[in-house]
């Protein structure tokens, strides 16, 4: 991998973000809007004593972290879709740029964008609702890392699927994380899910990240169990994502789809 | 020598070269395509195509629509994987040396576009970084001046005309001072004056830097003028190779004294599909 080619991809997507209002809106507007809505909701519930102690923190903390996870996964896939929509894919891959260099550049830009969005959401929660997530951030970092890794694995698989099945399935870029949300126990504990669904939820790193987050926010300390599960599952999904992506990419190259994608 | 004069001079030299001479020089091939085949399902887009291009040659890859020209070029860039056969560029196999080879190869085609929200300068800067060009800003300025689009530097690509877009593509193609240029209809959207300007630049480049060019076009007069050799494809197969006059004679089966590639083209188009082997 050559760093100048990774820099080129970072430059390309940074310029895109600067000129494209949609990208700016996705990066800051939606995370902030999400927190404002959740904030009002928690204020309402807290006022009438409908909430258990600490629930405001769970809800706002979960909204901030889910926002980061969703934004990273979506922006990875839409970043690639930008190349297809602008018919730039032949331009890029007729240079020495390798697919791993391209993906590394895309990951760096979109991770930074997701982190910026998360900081904007966290500042909104702090300023508007006096909810300060920053003192807990040290305990939350391992779980945020797991969320980012899972978003990355899903993002890579979705890009692979788009390469192979073209923009017909581009809706996956926006919708796939939503499909996982009910089973990821973002706003409620795992034991509130029906028993039938719990094994499925258990194999999602997101479930363990949010369970760990709740324990950390509640002051229950760092959950080694949930962290170990999340990181092991992420390693497995990542090991699965790479060959799936390679298979899809090679299949697209063989079918001549790389030059027909748009 | 002024470049327009160069066009005529080179064209005369080219038509007098014989096929035998070229075959003797095959050892110095910069590009070697051997038995290249591409199947899409049951459809044979490229069928056992073999050819070579020597250093500093301008070779035309011609044929009617669907002949397999673009698929061949895409396989030479590694964008499509061949079903069979091999591509060697600079003496190395493309499959194993893609990165090394593509550092010295450029490609342009009017159907390839740039991210529309980025300005011309930003787009070219991305490619300057990809090729690790030294002093990218001055190189970009030089190229924009060369293709007479310096005034478009800060314009978003979305606001460019097709001709202007084509010239940005040419700037990108020249960014890395390539040893091999693959050009798929480079003058398709240009008006005659600009097309002439581009031809002059290409010939100048070949004359001064020895750049090798593989060129597809539907403008037969342009090809006769530019190319020392022609590879004529039809229905995925090589129908004839040689100088424009040799290709004309082979396909028309007539003893001609002047190349007539336009006639060759029309002759093939009029024939029934099963007649064209």
Do B100 and B116 belong to one domain? no
Please say whether the beta carbons of A13 and A79 come within 8 A.
yes
ipTM value for the complex: 0.88
CATH of the domain at B201: 3.40.50.300
Q: Is A22 part of the contact surface with chain B (CB cutoff 8 Å)?
A: no
- pLDDT tens digits for range B209-225: 899 999 998 888 888 88
**Cβ count near A147 (within 10 Å):** 27
Do B184 and B79 belong to one domain? yes
> Which of B159, B177, B195 is the C-terminal boundary of a domain?
B177
Residue of B nearest to A102 (CA): B130
Do B94 and B115 belong to one domain? no
Cα–Cα nearest to A177, from A226, A114, A103, A244: A114
Residue of A nearest to B108 (CA): A91
Do B48 and B141 belong to one domain? no
Of the candidates A16, A256, A259, the beta carbon closest to that of B115 is on: A16
From chain A, pick out residues whose CB is under 8 angstroms from the CB of B81: 250, 253-254
Indicate which of B89, B129, B165, B182 best probes the interface with A, i.e. most A CBs within 10 Å of its own CB: B129
> Three-class SS of residue B155?
coil
- pLDDT tens digits for range A121-149: 999 999 998 888 888 788 889 999 999 99
- Contact between chains at B79 and A253 (C-beta distance less than 8 A): yes
Q: Where are the domains of chain A?
A: 3-254
Do B14 and B131 belong to one domain? no
**Cβ count near B84 (within 10 Å):** 13
Within 162-191 of A, beta carbons closer than 8 Å to B belong to none
Do B145 and B99 belong to one domain? no
Indicate which of A82, A259, A261 best probes the interface with B, i.e. most B CBs within 10 Å of its own CB: A259
Q: How many angstroms away from the CA of A177 is the closest CA of chain B?
A: 27
Separation between Cα atoms, residue A217 and residue B183, nearest integer Å? 60
> Which of B127, B155, B177 is the C-terminal boundary of a domain?
B177
Check whether A164 has a pLDDT greater than 50.
Answer: yes
Do B149 and B271 belong to one domain? no
Which CA distances in Å does A128 have to A33, A137, A153, B11?
Answer: 12, 19, 34, 75
- What percent of chain B has pLDDT above 70? 88
Do B146 and B45 belong to one domain? no
Domain ranges, residue B132? 110-177
> Which of B144, B177, B210 is the C-terminal boundary of a domain?
B177
Do B203 and B248 belong to one domain? yes
Do B234 and B271 belong to one domain? yes
Q: Is A94 part of the contact surface with chain B (CB cutoff 8 Å)?
A: yes
Residue of higher predicted confidence among A49 and B244: B244
Domains contained in chain B, number: 2
From chain A, pick out residues whose CB is under 8 angstroms from the CB of B122: 11, 15
pLDDT score, position A97: 97
Do B90 and B186 belong to one domain? yes
- Contact between chains at A15 and B118 (C-beta distance less than 8 A): yes
User: To the nearest whole number, what is the mean pLDDT of chain A?
Assistant: 92
pLDDT score, position B143: 96
- Contact between chains at B126 and A11 (C-beta distance less than 8 A): yes
- Mean pLDDT of all residues in B32-41: 96
Do B183 and B269 belong to one domain? yes
């Amino acid at each position: 991998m050559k760093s100048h080619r990774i820099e080129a991809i970072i430059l390309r997507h940074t310029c895109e973000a600067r000129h494209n209002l949609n990208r700016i809106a996705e990066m800051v507007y939606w995370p902030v809007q999400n927190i404002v809505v959740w904030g009002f909701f928690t204020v309402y519930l807290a006022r009438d004593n409908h909430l258990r102690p600490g629930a405001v923190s769970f809800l706002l903390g979960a909204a901030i972290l889910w926002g980061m996870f969703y934004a990273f996964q979506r922006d990875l896939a839409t970043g690639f879709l930008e190349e297809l929509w602008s018919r730039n894919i032949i331009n890029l891959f007729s240079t020495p740029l390798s697919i791993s260099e391209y993906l590394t550049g895309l990951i760096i830009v979109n991770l930074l964008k997701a982190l910026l969005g998360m900081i904007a959401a966290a500042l909104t929660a702090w300023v508007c609702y006096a909810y300060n997530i920053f003192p807990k951030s040290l305990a939350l970092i391992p779980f945020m890392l797991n969320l980012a890794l899972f978003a990355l694995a899903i993002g890579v698989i979705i890009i692979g699927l788009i390469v192979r099945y073209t923009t017909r399935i581009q809706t996956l870029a926006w919708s796939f994380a939503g499909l996982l949300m009910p089973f990821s126990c973002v706003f409620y504990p795992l034991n509130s899910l029906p028993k039938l669904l719990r094994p499925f939820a258990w194999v999602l790193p997101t479930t363990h990240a949010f369970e760990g987050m709740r324990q950390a926010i509640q002051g229950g300390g760092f959950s080694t169990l949930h962290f170990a599960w999340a990181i092991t599952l992420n390693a497995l999904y990542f090991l699965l994502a790479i060959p799936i992506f390679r298979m899809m990419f090679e299949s697209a190259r063989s079918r001549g789809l790389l030059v027909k994608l748009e | 020598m002024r470049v327009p004069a160069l066009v005529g001079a080179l064209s005369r030299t080219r038509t007098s070269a014989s096929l035998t001479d070229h075959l003797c020089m095959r050892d110095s091939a910069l590009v070697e395509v051997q038995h290249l085949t591409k199947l899409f399902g049951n459809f044979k887009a490229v069928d056992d195509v073999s050819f070579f291009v020597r250093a500093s040659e301008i070779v035309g890859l011609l044929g009617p629509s669907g002949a397999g020209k673009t698929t061949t070029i895409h396989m030479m860039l590694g964008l499509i994987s061949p079903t069979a056969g091999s591509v060697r560029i600079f003496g190395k196999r493309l499959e194993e040396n893609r990165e090394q080879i593509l550092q010295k190869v450029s490609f342009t085609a009017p159907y390839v576009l740039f991210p529309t929200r980025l300005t011309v300068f930003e787009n070219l800067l991305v490619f300057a970084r990809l090729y690790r060009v030294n002093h990218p800003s001055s190189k970009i300025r030089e190229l924009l001046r060369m293709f007479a689009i310096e005034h478009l530097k800060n314009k978003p690509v979305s606001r460019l005309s097709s001709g202007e877009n084509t010239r940005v593509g040419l700037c990108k193609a020249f960014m890395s001072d390539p040893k091999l240029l693959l050009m798929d209809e480079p003058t398709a959207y240009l008006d005659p004056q600009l097309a002439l300007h581009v031809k002059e630049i290409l010939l100048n480049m070949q004359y001064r830097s020895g750049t090798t060019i593989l060129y597809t076009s539907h403008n037969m007069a342009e090809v006769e003028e530019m190319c020392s050799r022609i590879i004529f494809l039809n229905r995925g197969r090589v129908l004839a190779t040689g100088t424009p006059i040799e290709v004309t004679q082979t396909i028309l089966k007539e003893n001609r004294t002047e190349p007539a590639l336009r006639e060759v083209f029309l002759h093939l188009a009029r024939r029934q599909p099963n007649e064209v082997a």
